[in-house]
Chain A
Amino acid sequence: MNAAALLSVNGLSASYGSAKVLFDISLAVAPRSIVACVGRNGAGKTTLLKTIAGFIKPTAGTVTAGDRTLIGLPPYDVARLGVKYVPQDKKVFSDLTVRENLELGSYATRDYNWDPVTTYFPKLKVLMDRKAGYLSGGERQMLMIGRAILGSPQVLLVDEPTEGLAPSIVAHLKNVFRELSKTAALVIVEQNLPLVCAIADKVYALSDGAIVATLSGSDEIRVDQCERFL
């Protein structure tokens, strides 16, 4: 695959029990780039991220971050290697405050500098002592992304970040992702095609657990092109 890739996935297959869900997936993520995965519900996008993050054991293939293989590592070791997964369901640690949620991220990475977090998401500053369970969907997403960027991860795997969010928050997240891509690579699973087309450097289209198209460059990454795969 691409020798300069920060994250390389080669021939990855995975299954839930006897049901195969990913078939021979290969993709490469360059440093400081945004890669998007699009596809219909059930195409295997979330499973792909979870397999990269170590939650699902692949049946075949390799995943490497830099020169380290991620296959066989538990999810917490994958996270410690700088490949952080931001899940889809926006479930934060509801009984903990925003501050405590961030402290968990800080302690794991030994990164206690919250300036980037509060710069990207100033709203979190005023919510520090609020229990995360009382946050809105958008605030939860901010908290989850903010927590994940502590420790300056190399790769962020972000699953459906704008699902159910107000347009103003989606626009804010778009800017944040652009900023984040200056220091880290992002793999975003997303159905919001205008967002994908605005920020992605490469788009992988998935269908039935396999990559069916790869789009790159502004000529190819267009909403009408991506729509064919939804």
Chain B
Amino acid sequence: MNRGPTLRKAWAWWWGILLAFMLIAGMRLVLPLPFVNEILIFSIYAIGCSFLLGKVGFISFGQPAYLAVGAYATAFYLFYFGTNPYIGILWGLAAGCAAALLVGPLFVRLRSDYFALVNLALAVIVFYLMQKVLAPITKGDNGLWFLTNMTSTPVLDITQPQQFFIFAFLVGLVVWAFYKYLDDTIFGACCLATKINEDKLQFLGYSNFRIRLAAFVIANTTTALAGSLYAVYLGAVSPEITAPSRTADPVIVILLGGVGTLYGPIVGSVAYTGMKDVISKLIGNWEMVIGPLLVIIMLAGEKGIWGTLEPWLKNVLFRRRNTAADDRDEAR
């Protein structure tokens, strides 16, 4: 049986994701482990936000709320009930999905600007819930510390930072493959269509509400997954994770990387975390550099770093192949 075309198709589908994650693996060789782990988790955190803004047209300043739901669900399990971090992550995923299903039917009916504001309000509510209202359970500003509660797990012991990196790496790979798959499906096209013209999509027999709700749940379950990973990686969770001052973080990351692009969240996370790391060593108020940089990126065409690099890279990588194909077409 000739498997050539199948393998070629598989390679054509996977090569971008594999290349991106090979670069992350390469970064692990030259950069400190905490830095690379943070990039991996931040990328997963940002991809949900990127999907909502780039594919559905919803800007959300409330992502820390869903991050906190995932993180605290994992933390509650590991602090009060169990010791297995994998089960903690599953709890975080389930809680994120449930929270999105709870608020989604209300939020996705709103226009994008009100959607942004209501999510921001949710982030503030979750922050004060965790800091004040539920302080007897969440331990308020001190947070929940459960690093020593977690037991080692067989095969891949994610209580160890080195093995956690491998786990987060594999999770990231699956998440990226999933979002790339979504891009290729009718659902992905529906999401883009609802962003471009919601009325026209209804003419074809689609409910914008259902499409947006599904997209909202997918995006925020992914964000909650990032929260769970944070919780397990740090072994602690505090209300700081959803602080009002951090609500713009994922939006900044995807603006830096490139809104709606598959690799924008990775590039944005590397740029944001890197700048934060490097610049904060030089000056205290590193945000003073990020702010003007964002303004420059917006003025330069709103494409972000990856959005600008992608066409150039495609041109370089595929120029030879396309030229050969064009020659063949002309010969025919």
A binding-site residues for B, Cβ under 8 Å: 53-55, 74-77, 79-80, 84-87, 91-96, 100, 103-105, 107-109, 147-148, 151
Contact partner of B206 (CB less than 8 A), chosen from A54, A76, A148, is A76
Question: Who on chain A is nearest to B208 by CB?
Answer: A76
Q: Looking at A55, A79, A148, which has the most chain B CB atoms within 10 Å of its CB?
A: A79
Q: Which of B154-182 contact A (CB under 8 A)?
A: none
A100 CB → nearest B CB, Å: 5
CB < 8 Å: which of A84, A87, A107, A151 contacts B186? A107
Taking A55-B199, A93-B197 as contacts, is the C-beta distance between A79 and B189 under 8 angstroms?
A: no
26 contacts between A and B (CB under 8 A): A54-B202, A74-B207, A75-B199, A75-B202, A76-B205, A76-B206, A85-B203, A86-B203, A87-B203, A91-B200, A92-B200, A93-B192, A93-B196, A93-B200, A93-B201, A94-B196, A96-B196, A103-B186, A104-B189, A104-B190, A104-B201, A104-B206, A105-B204, A108-B205, A109-B205, A148-B203
Contact among B192, B199, B205, B207 with A96 in the assembled complex (CB-CB below 8 Å)? B192
Are B189 and A76 touching (Cβ within 8 A)? Answer: no
Chain B residues with a Cβ under 8 A of chain A:
186, 189-190, 192-193, 196-197, 199-208
A95 contacts B202, CB within 8 Å? no
Contact status A80-B189, CB under 8 Å? no
CB distance from A136 to the nearest CB of B (A): 18
Q: Number of residue pairs across A and B with beta carbons under 8 Å?
A: 67
Question: How would you classify the secondary structure of chain B's contact residues: helix, strand, loop or mixed?
Answer: helix
Distance between A37 CB and nearest chain B CB, rounded to angstroms: 18
Which of B196, B200, B207 lies in contact with A95, CB distance below 8 A?
Answer: B196
Measured in the bound complex, the distance between the Cα atoms of B208 and A75 in whole Å is 10
Contacts of A87 in B (CB 8 A): 199-200, 203
Residue of A nearest to B186 (CB): A107
Taking the closest CB of chain A, its distance from the CB of B186, in whole angstroms, is 4
Given A87-B200, A91-B197, A103-B186, check contact A76 B192 (CB 8 Å).
no
Which residues of chain A are within 8 angstroms of B200 by Cβ–Cβ distance?
Answer: 87, 91-93
A108, B207: Cα distance in complex, Å: 10
For residue A198, give the distance in angstroms from its CB to the closest CB of chain B.
26
> How distant is the Cα of A85 from the Cα of B202 in the complex, in angstroms?
9
